[in-house]
Amino acid sequence: MRRWSGKRTHVSVFGTDYPTPDGTGVRDYIHVADLASAHLRALDYLRGGGRPTTLNVGYGHGYSVREVLAMVQSVGGKKLDIREEPRRAGDPAYLVARAERIRAELGWAPRYDDLQAIVASALAWERKLQQDPWTPDEQRGARHALRIKGCGRRARRSGFTWRRKTATLSHLFSC
């Protein structure tokens, strides 16, 4: 998205020789609204007395880096300068969440399980930021508000973490 919005000169694709259909890494990209709804479900679960647990969040299938870049070019209407780079150490060929437990235990269901919808939403956000960029003070204020929203100054770690394979996405806070 940064290249599409002009913040970068090119997009780097790290690795084109993976054992995947097009040679690039496959990831379980998730729409930010679906990620937020999963967090809200988790908060409801914890506030209702649920025990701390670890659940994966995702759609259970992935898209390759080339598929995502092709969709950005299609939806955004701009050709990207894409450069192929060597693999990064430790990057797996596939990284897709097994999200059956979050669906079963929390009743979470995604609403935007569609690459075109995910890309269109991300590009709309970038356009909005280009038209009305946040000042540094607004950015700091938003980060602060997210840290304490709903919990005042007594926020504490709940012990509930979200993971997509090995990447911890967020620690949730409860009151």
Helix axes 115-131, 65-76, angle to 10 degrees: 50
Neighbours of 13 (CB within 10 A): 18
Query: Minimal CA–CA distance to 10: which of 77, 65, 66, 79?
Result: 79
What residue ranges do the domains of the chain occupy? 11-133
Residues in CB range of 117: below 8 A, 6 or more apart: 31
List pLDDT tens digits, range 25-62: 999 999 999 999 999 999 999 999 999 999 999 999 99
| Band of residue 174 on the pLDDT scale cut at 50, 70, 90 | very low
> Which residue would you say has higher pLDDT here, 122 or 86?
86
CA atoms of 175 and 170, how far apart (whole Å)? 16
List pLDDT tens digits, range 104-121: 999 999 999 999 999 999
Residue 133 pLDDT: 64
* Contact by Cβ (8 Å): 105, 63: no
- List, as one string, the DSSP characters of 62-75: -EEHHHHHHHHHHH
Return the CATH superfamily for domain 11-133.
UDP-galactose 4-epimerase, domain 1 (3.90.25.10)
- List, as one string, the DSSP characters of 102-147: HHHHH----S---HHHHHHHHHHHHHHHHHSPPPHHHHHHHHHHHH
List pLDDT tens digits, range 60-115: 999 999 999 999 999 999 899 999 999 999 999 999 999 999 999 999 999 999 99
Query: Minimal CA–CA distance to 75: which of 67, 83, 63?
Result: 67
List pLDDT tens digits, range 126-165: 888 778 766 666 555 555 444 444 433 333 333 333 333 3
Residue type, 167: A
